[in-house]
Amino acid sequence: MRSDTVKKGIERVPNRGLLYATGISKSDMKKPFIGIASSFTDIIPGHVGMRELERFIERGVCSGGGVPFIFGIPGICDGIAMGHKGMRYSLPLREIVADTIESVAGAHCFDGLVLLTNCDKITPGCLIAAARLNIPTVVVTAGPMLCGRYKGTIRLDLVHDTFEAVGRAKAGKISGEELDELEMEACPGFGSCQGLYTANTMSCITETMGMSLTGCATALAVSARKKRIAKESGERVVEMVRKNILPRSVMTKNALLNAIKVDMALGGSSNTVLHLTRIAKELDIDLPLEVFNKVSRSTPHIINLRPSGEYFLEDLEYAGGIPAILNVLKDGLKPSPTVNGRRGILEVARKGRVLNSAVIHNRSNPYHKEGGIAILFGSLAPEGAVVKQIAVSSKMWKFTGRARVFDGEEKAMKAVMGRKIKKGDVVIIRYEGDKGAPGMPETLSVTAVLTGMGMGESVALITDGRFSGGTQGPCIGHVAPEAAVGGPIAVVRNGDRINIDIKNRKLDLVLSEKEIRARLAKWKAPAPKVKTGYLAKYAKLI
């Protein structure tokens, strides 16, 4: 066992002395040491229920014959961080999570890990750590929250009924009293936000990749089922230690391709492109952006979840969960193992059942013929840009508009709230990329207000930053190269024509190559926005 490094031999007397100080017994020294990395915090709704799940994971580890050790990893709530400078820390947190798990597990020579996570950047950070450490690991995602209720019957979610409600209130469509009620009722308790936003998308992808037990992604945060999965995960990781089942044998290229396929079928968050390519890099797997387009073209969108659809994660749970989605897609899936043991992903797919065909459609009757995400290329995005195409009205799939340029989200938000954005505008928000912001913040506040004000079919938004999984409308993010490193988005001027063609995967600045090169030749890199602290270090290293 790896833990023998700290507990066997005469030279380890001091190490054992410290371990005994924690309360373990001599018989425990013969058992596998299992780290439980918990992202519990009181400030993230998706994490406040984790104290109880920690207990059930501990029970499972002990039941399986291991010794559990809980340690903490940090978390940020993207919703609370949204719309201000705090959002700069969200994506960089992913690397802190991975580094923290690596540091604690590496220093203490754990034999295996259970990673208790739930939200946007924490789950991919856990997967990166699992790939890096390559010791037996099971991921437990803590589950989605229930939908809110308004006037007893109207179902609510965070994005549509708070972020977009701001725009509806600004446009005079709802009263201030209604807005107050919505903010109180939209999120009725703990769990990850109710739609297919980034947190829940990453949970679904984690289960598809085989890194969570079957059913984990959609089991509701408040359910007894979630507790049972937590206990079973603790038991399972001890067995994995004994059989030396490692993350790199589970997270194969086939697993990544299956994850992309399920993501497309679900219509998941555009942030999954950032996370899956990062996980692939940690695994030394080549995963070019063109793969996302190829899979999207051949994968139907079969469930219509919020923000672009009408259903909630609880509806997916009761309709059969990820196994039901896999069953519909089974002919296009690739063989891949899972942490379930003998049950590979193809067996999970065969046993999956669609329990509500009104929620989960079949391949011959999809909501959309193509998957949720498209990658655009062109003179404005030579290295690619990402759009959640199923959330874009068909009227806006092909659109040419005039650029309204803002160097930062706050300036754009001020213009939107001041009603200075008009029909036919293409809002350009730049210097919000990984280096430029730094940290590539989400711009959900701007997109949600535009949608709430009724501009989702007349105004587009393009940024070198990114969007929340809750974004809908003609919003194109991740434009690369970003402005801070001299990408073409840096030289767009007010009034320039921008051409969007989602069907043909094109995003162009309607200027000659000569004019673009001339502008870039005169461009000078701006001074860093942040010069000290973690964000400054992140901007240099990313």
**DSSP characters for 117-186?**
E-STTHHHHHHHHHHHH-S-EEEEE--BPPPEEETTTEEE-HIIIIIHHHHHHHTTSS-HHHHHHHHHHS
Report whether 317 belongs to an annotated binding site: no
Which residues does 434 contact at the CB level (< 8 Å), separation at least 6? Answer: 91, 440, 482, 538, 539, 542
- SS3 label, residue 398: strand
Residue 192 known to be catalytic = no
The helix (run of H) or strand (run of E) holding residue 387 is strand 385-388
**Rounded Cα–Cα distance for residues 342 and 175 (Å):** 56
Chain-centroid distance of CA 12 in Å reads 42
Residue 294 — φ and ψ, nearest 5°? -60, -45
Do residues 451 and 165 touch, judged by C-beta distance below 8 A? no
> Omega into 481 within 30° of 0, i.e. cis?
yes
4 carries a ligand binding annotation = no
Per the CB < 8 A criterion, the answer to whether 135 and 1 are in contact is no
Active-site residue (options: 212, 233, 336, 468):
468
The torsion of the CA quartet 308, 313, 316, 320, rounded to 10 degrees, works out to: 160
C-alpha–C-alpha distance, residues 104 and 195, integer Å: 33
Return d(Cα 27, Cα 34) in angstroms, integer: 15
From the number of C-beta atoms within 10 Å of its C-beta (0-12, 13-18, 19+), residue 151 rates as: exposed
User: Cβ of 474: how many Cβ atoms within 10 Å?
Assistant: 28
Asked if residue 120 belongs to a known ligand binding site, the reply is yes
Q: How many helices (H) and strands (E) does the chain have?
A: 22, 14
Beta bridge partners of 507: 500
Of 194, 38, 227, nearest to 126 (Cα)?
Answer: 38
Please give the single-letter amino acid code of residue 94.
R
Structural tokens at position 317? 């749970």
111 in a known ligand binding site:
no
CA 430/CA 437 separation, integer angstroms = 9
Peptide bond before residue 124 is cis, with ω within 30 degrees of 0: no
426: β partners: 403, 460
Which segments are annotated as binding site for Mg(2+)?
78, 120-121, 442
Which segments are annotated as binding site?
78, 120-121, 442
Q: Among all residues, which ones are annotated catalytic?
A: 468
